[in-house]
Each structure stands twice: as structure tokens, then as C-alpha cells.
Structure 1
């Protein structure tokens, strides 16, 4: 049995980013850049007015108020046709190119129109360069504006559009197959008999993977026979990642590990010092990473967040693929029963200007309902004997 940290390191080391591909930039939200991106233009591409107002020579306002002659009006999208000389001004709109000769823009609110002879009164003096965005002050031609490994958010989409990058190299999301094992399982539409339960794991695991943008196929339910498990497992080897839930403990009908070995799967680990989720298998068959998770739904949920989340993010090119751990103040005492690292469903919130966390009522690894009242996993480390209210503890945020 290996530690959680060792297991996560093995998953990280044995997972490689997928081959990058060129994708239309508007379809890259949430993906990871596989290339640096350079600008093909200066931004702004010219000296640009930051205000609606008048383009003037600042020195003309030294003894304001002063009257100037308006020689033209410049709208955004049009280039000036006249040079501004002393005693003159050009009416200008936000985003328009500043005309030659002008070195400042005065806002409309600081002027008064004079109805005769196309003149304007400037009410106060203004400094040179005021309200002008200089050419290239934000981005210069050839400048690297986005870097390989960055997550693409709405603002990165805007930058890609600004620099004309209509297609961009990104790491794609993996394909994932999900198999639920257990002769006791029936699908959602069926009413379980006394000895049956509905297949919740297949759908919750699929939702966890889809939240990461993965391409998921629920392959179905198989009974606890080597033949059925083997047949469905081999079907799933077309995927980048194959997830099985159930059949990994020590019972007579826990056959998943045996089937994986019969198919000559390279097994990297089979047990982790973890609660919930000790019996978890990770291996590789050909190009496919295989994760066999416990059948209890909270154990399945937790092991996904620790191991499969990490693998998916590594395949997507993220340099820090693990869930983020932060600290919060514990609000209640916790007594530790087992010397395995525990991940307890908990509620994280801000109270009294401090991040607080409290475990929710939880009846063990089969109690999926408890997780609906939680937004984080509270980490109880294996060397702890008791966690006291008021101390800082580590939590993994889920939402």
C-alpha cells in the first residue's frame, strides 16, 4: 500500500500531454495553449484618442481659457485629413487616430462650443500627452502576448482575436470510457429489486470528467464475470482513459484486477493508504490509461478528484494538474480513527473575515448524499491524532 502523494506522483509521471492540434480560436475556451502567440500588429496601431473631445496642441492651453478654430471632425475608423497647427483643434471621437500636429486631447466636458466660426473654448490648461494612447503602448508587433501552458479564458480569446490568431495550437481533451461493474447494478430507468441498486457511479464519474471538458462515453454495466469485464474492457481500450468502478476489493467477485492482469496490463499501483478509496488500481494497456476505482460512490468520487483529475489535466497540457489545496480554520474537533489519509466531505465558507471549514455529517463511503452538502474535501493527514477547532487545515476546493 502506497501513500497518496506517491500515487499522485506515479499518475503524473506516467501521463503525457496529448498531441496538440490547431483549433478555431473561438472553440478553445478552457483549453491549454500548446504554443506561444505573437502579435502581428502594434496595439494601438496608431496614436489613439482615449476620450471624446478635441485634439489640440497642449501648449495652446497654457493661459486657458482659450478659443481655438475647429478644422475637422474625426470619427473612429477614419484617418485625419488635416494637420493641427497652433490655434487649431480637431473634434475627435474615442478610438480615432490623433491627427498630425496634435499632442493632447481635451474632453468635451472641459470645453464650450462657440456657435459662430467653428470655434471651441478650452476651459482649462492640459498637459502634453493627455488622453492619448500611444502607438504600441499595449502591444508591439512581434511581441509574445500569450505563452504555451496558459489556460484560455475569455480575456485570452479576446487577445487571440486582437492579434489575428484565428486558429491556435492547443492540447485537446482526452477521450474517456466509463464502465460500471456489478451484477447488482441496474440503470436509471429500472426500479431496483431488493438485491439491486441503480448505477450512480457511471453518471457521476461522467459528470466529473465532462466538467473538465473531456469527451466521455458511458460504455455501460457489466456483470461480475471475467468474460463480460474483459470484453467491455477491451472495447474501452480505444479511449485515452478508461475508468472502471467496482470489483477492486478482496471479495470473491472482485475480478477487475485479475482481468487487467490477464490482458497484460502494466499495473503501477493497486492500493493507496487512503480513506475512502484504498482499493484503487492504476495501469496502462497499450496507449490507454486504466483506472479501476472502488464501487462505493464517495470513494469513487474522491479517487477521481485525486488521480483521474490529475491525469486529465496532465493530458490537457497543464503544468500544475492537481487539485489546488488551500488552508482554512477548522470549526469543530475531529478525532482520527485510522492511520490513512482521509478526505472528508466538508463545507468551506467565509465567516468573520476568515476562511472556515466544517465537516458535513457523513456516514461513510456509501453516503453520496453527504457530498451534496459539501463544496470541498477536508484533508486529515495520516500522522494526525486529533484536529482541534481553531487550527488551520488543508482543504481541496471542489466548486
Structure 2
């Protein structure tokens, strides 16, 4: 039975479970997903902090300008103010330094004049109370949840973990992924293909897609189109959380992957999806391992990974937003829909006058992997539309 893309996506995500959590050093947590909330152990800023290089003053002293004030202290970032600012006084202060008692505003150097007479400054512009001062705790408070469970950890989250002293952090594990390429025609990268052979590109592009999501990947290797070799390789891959095979899933005499999966007792959820490229795609489970058997054509393999494996890896990692970002973009050229299957065409999207514009790249079909190197998105050509005209809005899946 052929199912829709939307149904297939729901099936794979509904049958995916979040992996157990583990503790890692915060410097090694990039790309993981938080398994617990993170609380702050400090106020931030930890004191009233100057947001400018200038002078800490009493705002009322600057009501009528110009006015001259006596400079009583020079406060650098990291030092503790020693003197309280009184009426008619100012403290020279650097960005990030603690504002001294008594002062309620900071005026920028550019709005002052350093007088030649000892310890005097002329204020040229009035300031209001609170100007150029970051208040204690305005960014975060002690006990505040600063990072929430299920958040992805990016460079900015690493910075927050450091700020709140979280040296070790609880994250969800990333899945282990095994990759097998099937086909008598395949040779490894280092080999020169003969007339009837091609190099094994799918293993490496699929591995790169999975590693890009922080998964732990093992390329198990190339297997010939025999049931024994395919069965042996699948058994090796069953130690992984996810096993991906490419090739051997169509209707030909040597397309044996589906039969072998069934022989091994795999529970099959679906075998065909109404999409192009990539109609023959199998999803099943054997014990704890989710198995994806993807088409052998490189673009079909690439697209079906993005549609089905990508959200599974993200869900296993604890992320709640599991899919790639989809935007609406205006077509630059007309598209005629020839098949009643949803198509995912390599395309190039750009921003023009604050609006997304998209056009398909030259593409010769599901074996033309080179076309994807000119693309930065997949254009979604829905199965229920016969024709898209130039200027019409269309869904576009953004790629890295």
C-alpha cells in the first residue's frame, strides 16, 4: 500500500522514543538537548553595572548644564568602588564596572569635557536617573530558570551554562546510527569504477547528514545483492539505535532488502510513500532498532533522509521541534505537475525586498546528486495542484 508523506512522517515520529539522558561537561554539550531545567545561582548583573565608559553622577546635578563636578575616584571593571558619590561629585567609570553608592546615572565620555584643572569634569548634557546603568538582576535572578528542558544547546547556551557555573549538564543521548549500502555495482571511494560500476556515495552523504545532527555514525560497508550478505549486515547493524540501508528497495529481481527485513522478523510499518524522488522507502523496527531502507538513487536517498530520518534523530535527542524549517516563497518560474505524487525538488531560495524568492535548479532526476550542490532548499510541489504559476507562493524546506 502506498501512503502519503504526511502519514509516513507521523508513523516514524509516533514510533520514536527519547533516548536516556547522560551527564557531560558543558564544553562538550554543543549540539545536545537539555534533559533538565538549568537555574541561575547568581543575579546577572551581580551589581548595578555601568553600561558605558563615562562618569557616575547624581542625575539631579546635571539638570542644568554645563556644570562642573569634582572627580573623586577612578573605577575600572573588576574593582570595587571605595567612595560614595555626593552632590557635586562624580566617579570616572569604565564599562562593566560597579556603579558606586550615591550615583544614579552614568554619562558618556563623549558628553563631557575633561578639564585641565585637577580632578574636575564639565558635564555637557543632562541625564535622567538610571541612564546607562544595567540594574542588578535585570538579566537573570538567583533561582530563575535560565535554560529549559528540551532546549538545543548552541554556542549562546554554552555561554549561559558558564555564566551560572554549570560545569556539568544533563543532556539526552544522541542516537547511534549504522549505514549500509547495497548493490553489486558499488565500489569504494578509493577504487576506480569499471564500466558497470559506480562509487559508493550514499554511505558518505548519509553519514554526513546524520553527523550533522550530532549522531554517532558507523559506516558498516557495502554488501552485494544477496540475501545472505544483506542479512549478515543487518544483523551487525541491530546494535544501533537507527539502521539505514540504501538501495535494494524497489521491485527488481535484485531488490532484496525488504524480503530480508521480513525474514529477520522486522515489524514493517510501510514500504511505499507517494513522493518523488523516493517512492520505495521502507520503515520498520527490529527489537530496539529503527530500520530505514532508502532508495539507492542519491537524491532520493538524500530527500528521504531529510523527511523521515531527520525528525527521528531529533526526537530521540529530546528536541520538541523535530522538523526542518519550512517557509513560503514566491516562485520565479512556472511549474507543471506531471505526477500525482508530492515532489521535493532541489531549489535555490533568496531574500529579495524582504520577501523569499525561490527557483528550481537544473536537475536531471533522482540520480543527479550534483544538482543538490547548487540548492539550498527543497521546493515542495504538492500532489493536489496541477500547475504553479510564477509569483505563486509555495512551501520550501530550508537546508543547511
TM, length-normalised to structure 1: 0.95
Q: Which moved more, 1:332-341 or 1:222-231?
A: 332-341
Is the counterpart of residue 10 in structure 1 residue 11 in structure 2? yes
Counting only pairs closer than 5 Å after superposition, residues 1-399 of structure 1 correspond to structure 2 as 1-351=2-352, 354-399=355-400
Q: Which moved more, 1:373-382 or 1:213-222?
A: 373-382
- CA gap 1:39/1:225 in 2 versus in 1, 3 angstroms: same
TM, length-normalised to structure 2: 0.94
Q: Which moved more, 1:223-232 or 1:49-58?
A: 49-58
Whole-angstrom CA distance in 2 between matches of 1:205 and 1:27:
24
Question: Which digits, 9 at most, give the CA deviation of each residue in 1:299-340, with x for residues without a partner?
Answer: 111111110111111112221212222211222222222211
- CA gap 1:96/1:247 in 2 versus in 1, 3 angstroms: same
Q: Which moved more, 1:9-18 or 1:128-137?
A: 128-137
Whole-angstrom CA distance in 2 between matches of 1:384 and 1:288:
37
Question: Which digits, 9 at most, give the CA deviation of each residue in 1:96-154, with x for residues without a partner?
Answer: 11122222222223333344453333333332222221111121111111112222222
Equivalenced residues, count:
399
Whole-angstrom CA distance in 2 between matches of 1:383 and 1:298:
23
Deviation at 1:32, TM superposition (A): 2.0
Deviation at 1:232, TM superposition (A): 1.0
- CA gap 1:195/1:62 in 2 versus in 1, 3 angstroms: closer
Whole-angstrom CA distance in 1 between matches of 2:55 and 2:63:
16
- CA gap 1:336/1:108 in 2 versus in 1, 3 angstroms: closer
- CA gap 1:360/1:52 in 2 versus in 1, 3 angstroms: closer
Whole-angstrom CA distance in 1 between matches of 2:329 and 2:91:
58
Q: What is the root-mean-square deviation of aligned Cα atoms in Å?
A: 1.8
Runs of 4+ in structure 1 deviating by more than 6 angstroms, as ranges, are: none
Deviation at 1:351, TM superposition (A): 4.2
State the SS of the aligned residue for 2:252.
coil
State the SS of the aligned residue for 2:27.
helix
Whole-angstrom CA distance in 2 between matches of 1:111 and 1:336:
69
Question: Which digits, 9 at most, give the CA deviation of each residue in 1:18-63, with x for residues without a partner?
Answer: 1122222222223222221111111111111222222222222333
- CA gap 1:116/1:195 in 2 versus in 1, 3 angstroms: closer
Deviation at 1:202, TM superposition (A): 0.9
Whole-angstrom CA distance in 1 between matches of 2:86 and 2:351:
60
- CA gap 1:350/1:121 in 2 versus in 1, 3 angstroms: closer
Question: Which digits, 9 at most, give the CA deviation of each residue in 1:69-102, with x for residues without a partner?
Answer: 3222222111112222222222222211112222
State the SS of the aligned residue for 2:312.
helix
Could you tell me which runs of 5 or more consecutive residues in structure 1 were left unpaired when the two chains were aligned: none
Deviation at 1:352, TM superposition (A): 5.6
Could you tell me which runs of 5 or more consecutive residues in structure 2 were left unpaired when the two chains were aligned: none
Deviation at 1:280, TM superposition (A): 0.6
- CA gap 1:290/1:102 in 2 versus in 1, 3 angstroms: same
